Amino acid sequence: MPGHEGSLLIPVPSGSPFGLVSGRPPLAHCLEAMARGFATVVVPVARTQAAEARACAPDGVEVVEVDGPATRVDCLRAGLKSIADADHVVVHELLRPLTPRAVLDRVLTALAADNELVVPTLVVVDSVKSVDDNGSVVATVDRSTLRSIQFPRGMTTSVLRRAVDAGTDEVVHALTTGIAITMVDGDPHGLEIRAPRDTALAEAILANL
């Protein structure tokens, strides 16, 4: 799927972070890395945070205000109304503002090969243990079968719509309904930024790019 044929959604649920990362809000970083080449870019945002979102959004990006609880599902539902005619959609996560454009390119390439849902992943490198009810280690988990999943995720619009109708995440929906999930390589820079230490790490990464 060439990027210009699809749509990009970056949901901003209620309570999303707008603290600065290297002097810029996370949404600004996300849009700079991801928005280029899409026919439609939509930021469905909780009404209470719409002003912050608009301040980050360049011309051509549609900011849609979402009332009520404005959960992730609520935001995606609102975003889908703005891309009703799109066959494919890419969903990015505000918490991952450092994800490189190369990850998106890999997602788009896999989506162009008629895959219904494409997810970037990373190999699990740490040793993983299972424990009993007392917190004692009882076994080593085979990490060769494990992956951590990231964003952006590419999918057919119908897959996202069915997940939203079910009130769940698109990967959870795929796992419960048998939709094949295609993996592409993620990137360590696509980490989630939640805590102050995550921000410090992100700023260190940006300083060395």
What tens digit of pLDDT does each residue of 78-94 get? 999 999 788 999 999 99
Q: Is the CB of residue 76 less than 8 Å from the CB of residue 94?
A: no
Long-range contacts of 160-163 (CB under 8 A, 24+ apart): 160/76, 160/80, 160/89, 160/91, 161/80
**Amino acid letter, residue 169:** D
Query: How far is Cα 97 from Cα 190, in angstroms, rounded to an integer?
Result: 7
The pair of structure tokens assigned to 43 is: 């930021």
- The reported pLDDT for the residue numbered 112 is 95
The pair of structure tokens assigned to 136 is: 């004692």
Instruction: Provide the phi-psi class of 89: left if phi over 0, else alpha when psi is between -120 and 50, else beta.
Output: beta
Q: Return the closest-CA partner of residue 85 out of 190, 186, 158.
A: 158
What tens digit of pLDDT does each residue of 113-160 get? 999 999 999 999 999 999 999 999 999 999 999 999 999 999 999 999
The pair of structure tokens assigned to 77 is: 């539902």
Domains of the chain: 3-207 (3.90.550.10)
Q: Is the CB of residue 28 less than 8 Å from the CB of residue 94?
A: no
Other C-beta atoms closer than 10 Å to the C-beta of 43 total 27
Is the pLDDT score of 101 beyond 50? yes
The pair of structure tokens assigned to 181 is: 């999930």
Is the pLDDT score of 200 beyond 80? no
- The reported pLDDT for the residue numbered 198 is 67
Residues in the chain: 209
Which residues on adjacent β-strands are paired with residue 24?
A: 21
Instruction: Provide the phi-psi class of 180: left if phi over 0, else alpha when psi is between -120 and 50, else beta.
Output: beta
What tens digit of pLDDT does each residue of 171-184 get? 999 999 999 999 99
